[in-house]
Amino acid sequence: MKDNIIQIKSKAFAIRIIRLYRYLIETKKEYVLSKQLLRSGTSIGANICEALCGVSKKDFLSKMHISFKECVETQYWLDLLAETDYLSKNEYDSISSDCEGLRKLLSSITKSTNENIRQNEESKS
C-alpha cells in the first residue's frame, strides 16, 4: 500500500498520543481521561487504515467519517486535560495543533468523497 499524507500523519499522531498517555499515567498519575485519550487518539489511524482497504467508496467514506469523529473526541479529551492542568499550555498547544490538522484533512477528505459519490450516482441516473 502506498503511503499517503493522512496515513502518515495519523500514525505519527497516534505515536504522540501513546507517549502522552505514558507521561500522564507515569508522571501525573492520571488514569481515566488518559485512557479515553489513548483509545480515541489511536482509533483515528486505525479507521483510516480500514478505510484505505474499503470495498467501496461508501465503505471508505463511512470509515473516514468514523476517523473524523474520533478526532473530534480526541480534541475533547485534550481540552479536558488542559483545563484540569494535566497538560501545560505548550504541551496542549503542540498536540492540539496536530489534532486540528488531522481534523481539517479528514473533513476535506469526507466532503470531497461524499461529493464524488453524489456526482457518480447522478451521472448513473
pLDDT in tens, 93-104: 999 999 999 999
Q: Cβ atoms within 10 A of the Cβ of 24, count?
A: 20
Predicted confidence (pLDDT) at residue 110 exceeds the cutoff of 70: yes
The answer to whether residues 45 and 10 touch, using CB atoms and an 8 Å cutoff, is: yes
How far from 34 is each of 2, 41, 85, 89, 125, CA to CA, in Å?
Answer: 32, 10, 13, 17, 49
Query: Closest by alpha carbon to 61, among 102, 99, 109, 104?
Result: 109
The reply to whether the predicted model has a pTM over 0.85 is: yes
Q: What is the pLDDT of residues 44-71, one digit of tens each?
A: 999 999 999 999 999 999 999 999 999 9
pLDDT at 66: 98
